[in-house]
């Protein structure tokens, strides 16, 4: 990256081309923003790259933004009220739970995500976690490395083709997970209140959440985090699952009540669980769930591949460019 391409995180230097749009990357943990700078070269001068993580930091450093790219920065109503020139917010990712969508609409700020950049990556990751749990791969690997070469220590292991997977949220990613699980020979159940049987492939049977939890050998979470889905998988939901079942979450951490999950694992009332996301990230070594051999955790990486990263950055920047050039966005998530 050349100095003209972008400032390092934390820089608050103004754009170097008077008269061009002020576009700011409020925060991102990517190694460069070269892709965004290339997309926005005719829109802004120097693309400012900051490291805002709090409301106060966004307010103090992004007040002149007409376009804003964010990853983790919180955009509450209070923050949005201090962005008088802002016309477009594009989030690196699918979830927009860090943005007050109604407040943005009230201020006529377009909010966009990138819903389709990591569909295969996330569903592949969920599939990998499922196989790792059901085949007990991580446990077997650890035992072998400690001198225990005995397949009987991994019992029971059941044939995948006699098992049922329940998918909560049959959108892009959940639909891809359904297709891949079906290809492996599993029976596929889905729960999605926004879909009808005509909206899903014939191999997916739509059921209620209680039915899905009671019948599934594997439950895989793929719904967005909303007020409706926060702690959706709580103690009551976990109690409806088979004690031989596995839980996988590659969506958002707060959809699963981690304290309730820990209690279920401690009581031996769940065969195992795998999370790529936690309610509070990063996870620390003293996290209560980390003590369990039948619990797997990856560092919010399900979305990641080199290709997905490049697509994410390009599409987020393209949304900012479209709006600032008077064109309609492709991925607007709020309406006004």
Active site residue 300: yes
For residue 252, indicate whether it is catalytic.
yes
Query: Residue by residue, what is the 3-state secondary structure of the chain?
Result: CCCCCECCCCCCCCCCCCCCCCEEECCCCCCCCHHHHHHCCCCCCCEEECCCCCHHHHHHHCCCCCEEEECCCCECHHHHCCCCCCCEEEECCCCCCCECHHHHHHCCCEEECCCCCCHHHHHHHHHHHHHHHHCCHHHHHHHHHCCCCCHHHHCCCCCHHHCEEEEECCCHHHHHHHHHHHHCCCEEEEECCCCCHHHCCCCEEECCHHHHHHHCCEEEECCCCCCCCCCCECHHHHHHCCCCCEEEECCCHHHECHHHHHHHHHCCCCCEEEECCCCCCCCCCCCHHHHCCCEEECCCCCCCCHHHHHHHHHHHHHHHHHHHCCCCCCCECCCC
**Catalytic hit among 91, 252, 264, 322:** 252
What distance in Å separates the CA atoms of residue 293 and residue 281, rounded to the nearest whole number? Answer: 21
Q: Which residue's entry shows tokens 């409020």?
A: 26
Does residue 266 have an active-site annotation?
Answer: no
Catalytic residue among 87, 300, 304, 314: 300
Catalytic residue among 81, 281, 293, 307, which?
281
Catalytic positions are: 252, 281, 300
């Amino acid at each position: 990256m050349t100095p003209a391409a972008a400032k390092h995180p934390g820089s608050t230097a103004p754009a170097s081309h008077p008269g061009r749009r002020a576009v700011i990357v409020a925060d991102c943990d990517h190694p460069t923003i070269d892709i965004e700078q290339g997309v926005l070269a005719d829109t802004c001068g120097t693309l400012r790259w900051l490291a805002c993580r709090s409301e106060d930091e966004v307010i103090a450093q992004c007040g002149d933004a007409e376009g804003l790219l964010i990853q983790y920065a919180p955009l509450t109503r209070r923050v949005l009220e201090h962005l008088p020139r802002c016309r477009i917010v594009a989030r690196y990712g699918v979830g927009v739970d860090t943005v007050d969508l109604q407040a943005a609409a009230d201020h006529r700020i377009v909010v966009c995500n990138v819903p389709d950049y990591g569909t295969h990556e996330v569903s592949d990751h969920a599939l990998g976690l499922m196989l790792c749990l059901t085949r007990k791969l991580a446990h077997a690997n650890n035992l072998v490395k400690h001198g225990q070469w005995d397949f009987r220590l991994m019992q029971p292991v059941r044939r995948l083709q006699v098992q049922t997977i329940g998918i909560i949220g049959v959108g892009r990613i959940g639909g891809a997970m359904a297709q891949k699980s079906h290809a492996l020979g599993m029976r596929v159940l889905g729960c999605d209140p926004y879909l009808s049987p005509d909206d899903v492939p014939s191999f997916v049977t739509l059921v209620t959440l209680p039915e899905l939890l009671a019948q599934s050998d594997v439950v895989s979470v793929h719904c967005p985090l909303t007020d409706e889905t926060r702690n959706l998988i709580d103690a009551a939901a976990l109690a409806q699952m088979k004690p031989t079942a596995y839980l996988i979450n590659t969506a958002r951490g707060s959809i699963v009540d981690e304290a309730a999950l820990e209690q279920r694992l401690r009581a031996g009332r769940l065969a195992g669980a795998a999370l790529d996301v936690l309610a509070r990230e990063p996870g620390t070594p003293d996290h209560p769930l980390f003590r369990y051999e039948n619990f797997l955790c990856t560092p919010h990486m399900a979305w990641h591949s080199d290709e997905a990263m490049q697509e994410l950055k390009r599409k987020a920047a393209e949304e900012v460019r479209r709006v600032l050039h008077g064109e309609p966005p492709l991925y607007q998530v709020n309406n006004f």
